[in-house]
Amino acid sequence: MNKFYVICASLLLLGMAPETSKEVSFSGILKPWRTVVLRASAGGIIEKVHCERGDFLKPGEIAATLEFRIEKADLEVAAAKAKERANLELAEMKLKYSLVLAARNRALFDKGVINQEQLDDVVNQEQMAKIRVKQEKEAMIQAQLLYERALARYEAREIRTPVGGVVVERMRSAGEMVTRSLDSPIIKIAQMNPLAVDVRAPVEFFRTIKAGMQVTVIAESLEDKVIVAKVKTVDRVADAASGTFGFRIEVENPNNEFPAGLRCRVTFETN
């Protein structure tokens, strides 16, 4: 009888034992997070290309410059007008005098020293002085807007990269004409931090793979480097023909240690 109970207890414990984890691997390719082709937002002649193939650029760094002599001159004129305050100061001075004069003449009118016509003339001068100050303030606002417009046109001659990365191709050189069309690419930049691995997996893993989960990535020629990465996005639409779905791995690469274009294995554990 005791032997029977022992056997039953053993079977019960075996039934309660947790399932062992299983390691799953998928193949992929380390690639840039995105590739950006820089083009001019305005037509013109290239003054200088500030980088070569293989150079690393920081976000916002100038990659190329178009000729800007006219835009620079317009900017300097607009800046001078935006800073000009002489007309406004003169108008405010005249208004101040008109206010004092009007107050004095109202007192004289109350005492019967001057007549209504004389008072009206002074009051009209006061109102005209107020309007003049308003006009000069509006003129200064317009001058500031013209300056900002000239600045935008000037800055459009500087082609800056919106992302940090490596220059993978340079299509234009100094002296060449470019337009605003898509047919005038200048530089192609690959964002190297982070890197991406796009993977396709059978739909049976759809509930297993979640955004934010950790995975390991081992790239060819870098087998000694076990890269800890995470799932960034998971496709919500599967491919019915192949019975697979896609997900993207984000690999941090702050020092540009890992090159793009290497084949790799993405591994994680599942129950």
Same-domain check for residues 151 and 219: no
- CATH classification at residue 260: 2.40.30.170
Let me know if residue 92 belongs to a domain.
yes
263 in Cβ contact with 206 (< 8 Å): no
Q: Which residues contact 105 (CB under 8 A, 6 or more apart)?
A: 114, 118, 119, 122, 123
- By residue range, what is the domain housing residue 88? 69-155
- Tell me, what's the pLDDT at 15? 47
Tens of pLDDT, residues 45-69? 999 999 999 999 999 999 999 999 9
* DSSP bridge pairs for 38: 187
Structural domains in the chain (count): 2
Q: Are residues 113 and 149 in the same domain?
A: yes
Are 119 and 224 in a shared domain?
A: no
Q: Same domain for 62 and 187?
A: yes
CB 87 within 8 A of CB 198: no
- Give residue-wise pLDDT tens across range 88-141: 999 999 999 999 999 999 999 888 888 999 889 999 999 999 999 999 999 999
Among the three residues 121, 155, 189, which one is the final residue of a domain in this structure? 155
Residue 111 falls inside a structural domain: yes
Final residue of a structural domain among 96, 125, 155? 155
Say whether pTM exceeds 0.75: no
